[in-house]
Structure 1
Amino acid sequence: MQLAVKLLLFALVGIALFAAATAFFARRHEARANASFPPHGQLIEVDGVEVHAVVSGQGPDVVLIHGSSGNARDMTFRLAPLLAEKYRVIAFDRPGLGFTERVNDSGATITQQAELLSRAAVLLGAERPVVVGHSYGGAVALAWAVNQPDRVSALVPLAAASNPWTTPLDTLYQVTSHPVGSTLVVPMLTAFVPDGYVETAVARAFDPQSVPEGYSGHFGPALTLRRVSLRANAMQRANLLDEIEALHTRYGEIAVPTEIVHGDADDTVALSLHSANLANQIPGANLTVLPGIGHMLHHAVPEEIVQAVDRAAARAGLR
């Protein structure tokens, strides 16, 4: 009996020490990430939520919304500087990612995110911007156009997740979106997973293209591994399918000029399921298919995206 008690005490002490070490290394990793990749835009308060926005250029307003596991730095590496030559560009961090605060602990829906970012755009003087969204950010852009039709002048979905799919949720997101996994596993990922893991995952998203030189140093992979971002991203990904199932039947309500762009070598968001269907669901939408281009089309061929924005802006009477 005494031996069993001693073993139990040793186990409890070991668990406590491991938990303390995990918390220490997680805080250190997060502090290093925040110091290495601080906010490079401005922080504005929207209904009590702090939103990070990077504003550049002059001209008609264009909003850029990044995808999963990312932040506004993904948009400000190549695309935003090109657009800023003739537009006023606003690149947002989505809730819980980058330096925009989480809206709630259950995972902000694409509708809630669209509402928050549209209000932030208005505060920045962009009442009816051209809204550009990539991947998950494309779903937010679609929710913006459906639910905030008076706050958008044109829509440019880039490899946007738009229609229901049947493949299961990735195991990592199943674990990290679960209450137990969020509490126990997420801190360990922050504490012990190296930034190189994110860089490897990013490289897979670029296939068949390669990661541009200097991208990782600009993007800030360590920001993705912070506990708040891991939890927010996991919940958003876990909830996305149900949200798209509810939203996709309303795409016919979108009345603004829409220019859809998708690469035919995209293995992350399938062209045939998503953009090909989306082009038929939105009245008057144009679909541009980019041969041989993968999921990160805004890095592979940013000039093509600028041309799509030009077409959308011209159709909306902004140019």
Structure 2
Amino acid sequence: MFKTLAILSIAVLGGCSALIETRASTREADALRDWPPLGQFVDVGGGRQVHAFVTGQGPDLVLIHGASGNLRDFTFDFVDRVRNNYRVIVFDRPGLGYTDRVGDSFGGAFNTSAESPEQQAAMLWSAADRLSVTNPIVLGHSYGGSVAMAWGLNHPASALVIVSGATMPWPGKLGPSYTVLGSGLGGAVVPPFVTAFASQETINDAVRSVFAPNAAPDGYAQYVGPGLTLRRESLRANARQVNSLRPHLVQMSARYPSLDLPIELIHGDADTTVPIDVHARPLDALLPNSALNVLPGVGHMPHHVQPQTVVDAINRAAHRAGLRQEL
């Protein structure tokens, strides 16, 4: 009797697993069809490729997106605001969008390790070097702010622009979703369910949350490619990068006072995702050559909510670095 029930239970679980696998694989294939690569692939050695979108003319400007994102966050409309004055290079970060992981050691469903900001910056710098980028202005948003800071610490740059950047060690713990997805078991078991069954309303809620208290631009949630983020390996890469970020920021922040290049900090005082009092204000206090611009009533997405303010910060950075004569 018990043996029969056990066999039946295994058969049911196996059937559910097969259903989830089929549905997840179908949705991942749909995502690749619906949001194809926008740019070119840059070979950085070791069989690794970086997805890069390049446009415009002028001084080099590198744009690095945040967590759960890809380069479409910038190509939605921000690139159009700067392409006439800068050669703009937008990257997918490692493990997100269409860029490979830094190495094989970071793959696998149960693997909790992830690329540090410095490892990500090194991979993106290699791609930039192959694109003949020289001493760029590097802009990083959210998690991308930590990668931009790592770029400034370790690689040639004329100036940095940090927008809502996660750049300083924070007190306390991350939310439960990162804790679960960042673990070995949770990262293996949960992503297939999310990939298979995440609804459009769940996606809309996530976009509303990251823009709050401001509204997302019309069409943003569909354009940015949520299906790319919801792929199983992308979910794991994102969660584990965020989950492992704090110790890297502890080490990096000790080196921040050595950064004497121009740095523009843009941060909304209504940002609850990356709070200004935890990140931008302490960072500004550490840096010898920074300028902090606080945006009242603005949340986590200034480059969409007040894009001209971010463009102005880029222009100031270029002027301070001697790349532009006029503001």
Give the Cα separation in 2 of the matches to 1:170 and 1:45: 36
The answer on 1:188 being equivalent to 2:193 is yes
Give the Cα separation in 1 of the matches to 2:133 and 2:81: 19
SS at match of 2:276: coil
Q: How does 1:251-266 map to 2 (within 5 A)?
A: 251-266=256-271
The answer on 1:4 being equivalent to 2:2 is yes
Q: Percent identity?
A: 45
Give the Cα separation in 1 of the matches to 2:50 and 2:320: 30
Give the Cα separation in 1 of the matches to 2:310 and 2:270: 16
Residues 106-126 of structure 1: CA distance to partner in whole angstroms, max 9, x if unpaired?
211111000001111111111
The answer on 1:174 being equivalent to 2:179 is yes
Deviation at 1:5, TM superposition (A): 0.5
Aligned to 2:60: 61
User: Structure 1 75/18 Cα, relative in aligned 2: closer, same or farther at 3 Å?
Assistant: same
Q: TM-score, normalised by structure 1?
A: 0.96
SS at match of 1:287: strand
User: Structure 1 240/91 Cα, relative in aligned 2: closer, same or farther at 3 Å?
Assistant: same
| 8 A Cα contact 1:66 1:135, kept in partner | yes
Alignment RMSD, CA only? 1.0
Aligned to 1:298: 303
| 8 A Cα contact 1:205 1:295, kept in partner | yes
Deviation at 1:88, TM superposition (A): 0.6
| 8 A Cα contact 1:199 1:221, kept in partner | no
The answer on 1:120 being equivalent to 2:159 is no
SS at match of 2:277: coil
4+ residue stretches of structure 1 with deviation over 4 A? none
The answer on 1:233 being equivalent to 2:238 is yes
Residues 231-278 of structure 1: CA distance to partner in whole angstroms, max 9, x if unpaired?
100110110111111111110111211111111111111111211111
Give the Cα separation in 2 of the matches to 1:261 and 1:305: 7
| 8 A Cα contact 2:203 2:221, kept in partner | no
Match of 2:157 among 152, 155, 160: 152
Give the Cα separation in 1 of the matches to 2:81 and 2:92: 19
Q: How does 1:1-319 map to 2 (within 5 A)?
A: 3-47=1-45, 48-103=47-102, 104-105=106-107, 106-148=113-155, 151-319=156-324
Deviation at 1:208, TM superposition (A): 1.2
Deviation at 1:286, TM superposition (A): 0.7
Give the Cα separation in 2 of the matches to 1:54 and 1:193: 28
Name structure 2 gaps, 5 residues minimum: 108-112
| 8 A Cα contact 1:78 1:302, kept in partner | no
Give the Cα separation in 2 of the matches to 1:177 and 1:195: 24
In structure 1, what residue type is equivalent to 2:279?
H
| 8 A Cα contact 1:195 1:221, kept in partner | no
User: Structure 1 41/196 Cα, relative in aligned 2: closer, same or farther at 3 Å?
Assistant: farther
| 8 A Cα contact 1:195 1:222, kept in partner | no
Deviation at 1:127, TM superposition (A): 2.1
Give the Cα separation in 1 of the matches to 2:269 and 2:82: 24
Give the Cα separation in 2 of the matches to 1:312 and 1:138: 15
Aligned length: 315
Q: TM-score, normalised by structure 2?
A: 0.94
Give the Cα separation in 2 of the matches to 1:167 and 1:73: 31
Give the Cα separation in 2 of the matches to 1:75 and 1:111: 22
